[in-house]
Amino acid sequence: MLELSKLKVPVIAIVIGEGSSGGALALGVGNQVFMLENAIYSILSPEGYASILWKDSSRTKEAAEKMKLTAKDLYELKIIDKIIKEPKGDIEESFLKVTKSLRKEIQKSIEERKNKKLDEILEERYQKFRNMGEYKIL
């Protein structure tokens, strides 16, 4: 994560399936994080969460709901920046539509950042990471 945060180019991360464990933490350091609509993204699997919290891995569904690991949840928490819609239907046709959407979003992100200075790129990444999630003062 430290090395990724110091990269001198914009970092665009894309969650396409199941992003979990240390890899999920690293993806969060990106200037932008995109996520496919039906992907999940968390530092721990729901099975692991249930086993740790309740000592009962059969409570996976309950754990998944509490963990807020869907694209919609993570977008609301400002963990990810964009949800990439996944069309229903033929797998091959859907794949082509998704890759076309991803290409468009990647190109847009690069275009938005291509004239930024190094310190602006690093500051954007830092601020994005600092502003993730919700915090409540008790």
The model's pLDDT over 63-76, given as tens digits with 9 standing for 90+, comes to: 999 999 999 999 99
The model's pLDDT over 88-129, given as tens digits with 9 standing for 90+, comes to: 888 888 999 999 999 999 999 999 999 999 999 999 999 988
Q: What pTM does this model have?
A: 0.85
Taking each helix axis from N to C end, the angle separating 60-67 and 46-54, rounded to the nearest 10 degrees, works out to 100
pLDDT tier for residue 52 given thresholds of 50, 70 and 90: very high
Alpha helix segments (H runs only) across 2-138: 2-5, 22-27, 46-54, 60-67, 71-76, 91-113, 118-130
